[in-house]
Amino acid sequence: MTQAKQFGDQWFTTISNLVNDLETLRTLNDRVAVESGLLAAALSASIGRGDLVTADMTNASAAITQLLFTFDSGTPTQKSFLFKML
């Protein structure tokens, strides 16, 4: 096996980044649920993404909800398999 150490390092780092990013998305998506106008306000405040509308932001939030549902599902949860790598 070539570069097994580098592969292993990258494997664990990438899993750690994925878990951290999913948990950050969870926090941000919780804010969206609490602050109903947040997505529209964020979209109007951002520059350089004239191709997006509020529905795109809402669809992205719904997709995040589905990703987190999958992450949290299972017995044991999918999350627990990844947390074990941390």
Per the domain annotation, does 18 fall within a domain?
no
Domain membership of residue 11 (yes or no) is no
Q: Is residue 16 domain-resident? A: no
In the DSSP assignment, the letter for residue 49 is -
- DSSP structure class, residue 48: S
* H-state helical runs in the chain: 4-34, 38-45, 54-72, 78-83
User: Which tens digits make up the pLDDT trace of 7-53?
Assistant: 999 999 999 999 999 999 999 999 999 998 999 898 888 777 888 99
44 found inside a domain: yes
Domain count, the chain: 1
Categorize the per-residue pLDDT at 2 as very low, low, confident or very high, splitting at 50, 70 and 90: confident
Residue 6 placed within a domain: no
Domain ranges, residue 55: 23-83
pLDDT tens string 45-79: 877 788 899 999 999 999 999 999 999 999 999 99
